[in-house]
Structure 1
Amino acid sequence: MNVRPLAQNPDEHARFAAHLDKLRQVADADEADLVSRVLADPDRTMAQSAVLRHVDRRAADLHTGAAYEGWAQMMTQVMTDRPFLAQRLREWLLFRAVTLKLPWQPHDLLASSNWLQLKAAAGTNAGVIEFLAESGRTKRVRNAARATLNHRSES
């Protein structure tokens, strides 16, 4: 039986937790390098999951500010070979546009994931919420948008 000491090769759960901890604490200047190192983990699925959590946390913090675009460009360069992560960054850019009422295209929102449509349906842009109440991809998205509209009309 080939048993490796935990210190030499921790299981993916321990590595996942360690990656998340490092990503939470990383300085802005070192972020791209750390994300690249995490993505080099032999367990590609676990590494991508850790980076996805980091991307969602950072994008949520940055998406309404001026720093978002530079950060997103940097992250896009790091994730060029990870289509799912690159797609998530594009969806955060679209969420930024609808949140800040910047130009956006309805077909881009309709082509987006359920994750983004649900996030936008719970957002603050009434025009987007109304659009999703009528045209959202799934019944769940349409119902979520309608619930947001109903909640707003009751307030």
Structure 2
Amino acid sequence: MTISHIDDDEPPEHRRYAEYLRALGSVAETDEAGLLAVVLRDEDQGMAEAAVNQHLERRAAEQLTGPGFPGWAVMMATVVDNRAFLVRRLREWTLLRSLALDEPWSEEELLTASDWFQRTVTTTLLVTSPAALRLLAERGRTRRVRNAASRRSCPPRGA
């Protein structure tokens, strides 16, 4: 991968970030793990993890309920194995898949998940689990989550 130098005033890590996102956006599935490993070896770990997270978010959303998600998640887990934020975000996407496909999940997983995750559960139409929405309506971490989950689990009368 070559990094283009278009704007000399732009910090080099910004250029690398943009180039990483372009490369990750078009990487072949067979080359994805290798490219992610290259990105994560960048000297600016914050920037590298941000680029990998953006890729993780995009790819997870694209294949969330598809048959390729489990294999992709295993590959991602191997690549990000020692990066706490990326590991947690991948785990939360996997939990979101379980909720969307009505697969087993635990109350503890749902209640200890991040604010981002709890908000996502209350806003995505892929999650229709009455039990999950009720749990978040009663015990979600923030008032925003509890209110949104309440609206989804108990629609207003006449609606």
- The answer for the alignment partner of 1:98 in structure 2 is 99
1:148 Cα shift? 3.2
- TM-score, normalising length: structure 1: 0.88
Q: How far does the alpha carbon of each residue in 1:33-81 deviate from its partner, in whole angstroms, 9 at most, with x for none?
A: 0000011111100110010010010001111011111000011001112
Distance in 1 (CA, whole Å) between partners of 2:149 and 2:12 is 41
1:121 Cα shift? 1.2
Matched letter for residue 102 of structure 1: E
1:149 Cα shift? 4.0
The 1:152/1:90 distance shift into structure 2, 3 A limit, reads farther
- Root-mean-square deviation (CA), in Å? 2.1
The 1:26/1:151 distance shift into structure 2, 3 A limit, reads farther
Aligned counterpart for 1:132 among listed residues 132, 136, 139: 136
Distance in 2 (CA, whole Å) between partners of 1:148 and 1:34 is 40
Q: What does 1:6-45 align with in structure 2 at a 5 Å threshold?
A: 6=5, 11-45=12-46
**SS at 1:42's partner residue?**
coil
Unaligned runs of at least 5 residues, structure 1: 1-5
Matched letter for residue 72 of structure 1: A
Preserved CA contact (<8 Å) 1:97 1:103:
yes
Q: What does 1:1-155 align with in structure 2 at a 5 Å threshold?
A: 6=5, 11-123=12-124, 124-125=127-128, 126-149=130-153
Q: How far does the alpha carbon of each residue in 1:10-55 deviate from its partner, in whole angstroms, 9 at most, with x for none?
A: 6111111111110100000000000000111111001100100100
Q: Aligned residues, how many?
A: 150
Unaligned runs of at least 5 residues, structure 2: none
- TM-score, normalising length: structure 2: 0.86
1:88 Cα shift? 0.8
1:144 Cα shift? 2.1
Distance in 2 (CA, whole Å) between partners of 1:58 and 1:80 is 18
Distance in 2 (CA, whole Å) between partners of 1:132 and 1:115 is 13
Distance in 2 (CA, whole Å) between partners of 1:43 and 1:139 is 36
Structure 1 residue runs of 4 or more that deviate by more than 2 Å after TM superposition: 146-155
Distance in 2 (CA, whole Å) between partners of 1:91 and 1:62 is 14
